[in-house]
Amino acid sequence: MKIAVFGTGSVGQAIAGKLAQINHAVMIGTRSPQETLARTEPDMFGQPPFSVWLAQNPAVQLGLFLEAARFGEVLINATNGMGSLEALHQAGEANLNGKVLIDIAVPLDFSRGMPPSLFLSNTDSLGEQIQRAFPQVKVVKTLNTVTARLMVNPNLVGNGEHTIFVSGNDSGAKALVSGWLASWFGWKDILDLGDITTARGVEMYLPLWLRLWGATGSGLFNIKVVK
């Protein structure tokens, strides 16, 4: 399958690397490939520059958002939440329409440093904004409640016996994404929360996630829904 991953950060790298490893054709989209490759400094979390990662993952292609959107049969939004809508507009609505877009982005605001706040909450979500902006795209919100390493390998915690969520208006798209979460990454407990408005809940979980990270000293944790 041809898969486009928008975003060159740690989430985009984890997702793209895993998908390439299991023999999907993957292109990462960015605003400027030249600028992305020219960076030599670690990112804000101390990760090596993208060029180092790309050299270690030669099967992954790099292109403009527009090129990646044209390439991908399935789309994954792993951009910084602040830039998600702009990135998708650069990708071009005609290149997105009719496709499933797995939205992992979170509306984090780092303008006041760490920990970040949310620039959207309560009555709206980034997932909803993307769906409104691109009504013919099948937006499915998922994976944003765990750290990047855990997204692609849930067995790192509790033998994978913990919960990931999906939100979206298209039941068929959610079924596809749930199947991909299982077959691509090994997720076992996938809970459908409902329509895209339920993305508010999983996005607003991030302030608690950040405090749990601070309290435990590790991002390798998740929650399990028990009844």
Count of residues making up the chain: 227
User: How far is Cα 177 from Cα 172, in angstroms, rounded to an integer?
Assistant: 9
Q: Indicate whether 226 belongs to any domain.
A: no
The encoded tokens of residue 85 equal 């809508």
Q: Indicate whether 227 belongs to any domain.
A: no
Residue 120 phi/psi, 5-degree rounding, is -140, 140
Q: Indicate whether 62 belongs to any domain.
A: yes
Lowest mean pLDDT segment, chosen from 46-50, 145-149, 157-161, 215-219: 46-50
Segment 84-101, tens digit of pLDDT: 999 999 999 999 999 999
**Counted domains in the chain:** 1
Q: Indicate whether 225 belongs to any domain.
A: no
Quote the pLDDT of residue 98: 98
Residue 153: CATH number of its domain? 3.40.50.720
Segment 56-79, tens digit of pLDDT: 999 999 999 999 999 999 999 999
Segment 118-130, tens digit of pLDDT: 989 999 999 999 9
Bond preceding residue 116 cis, omega within 30 of 0: no
44 vs 195, more confident: 195
Whole-model pTM? 0.96
In this predicted structure, the answer to whether residue 175 has a pLDDT above a threshold of 80 is: yes
User: How far is Cα 183 from Cα 127, in angstroms, rounded to an integer?
Assistant: 24
Bond preceding residue 115 cis, omega within 30 of 0: yes
Q: Indicate whether 223 belongs to any domain.
A: no
Q: Indicate whether 130 belongs to any domain.
A: yes
Do β-strands 108-109 and 117-118 pair in parallel, antiparallel, or remain unpaired? antiparallel
143: domain range? 2-216
pLDDT, the chain, mean? 96
User: How far is Cα 226 from Cα 6, in angstroms, rounded to an integer?
Assistant: 33
